[in-house]
Amino acid sequence: MARWIKRTLDIAPEFRDIDMMGVVHNCVYFTWFERGRLQVMDDIVTFEKAGELGIAIPVRKSECSYEIPVRLGDRLTLITKHRVDDKYAGKLEFTHELVNNATKAVHAAGTCTCTIIDTKTGKLLRDWNNELWAHYSKIK
């Protein structure tokens, strides 16, 4: 039965994130989404462990829907969710919501799809290492 891993991250835009219109530049959202995804991935498999196992987890697709511009001074929470299925289907999917702490409005929403490859061959892995799958299956 599928379940969800959910992580939250406090986000505060910095001056360097702002474009000439006074709002956060569109590319910054992907950096924030990456931070959320890596927070989940670090619980699944650290970079060091992935290296030992000879795997990499590249992004295959990343999307963002911009709902309300983020401005300097906004305090936000990034909610990242990852669905854990009973069997690995060749992809890892993540959803992101960037929520304003004061208004509870969603400023942006996004998705990211990753896959797992063998670093020696560059080929897609269809199955996980048993130890890693056992660990992954227990994450809350």
Question: What are 17-62's pLDDT values in tens digits?
Answer: 999 999 999 999 999 999 999 999 999 999 999 999 999 999 999 9
Say what the alpha-carbon torsion angle 38, 77, 137, 41 is, to the nearest 10 degrees. 0
CA quadruple 19, 23, 24, 26: dihedral sign: negative
The pTM score is 0.93
Domains plus CATH for the chain?
A: 3-138 (3.10.129.10)
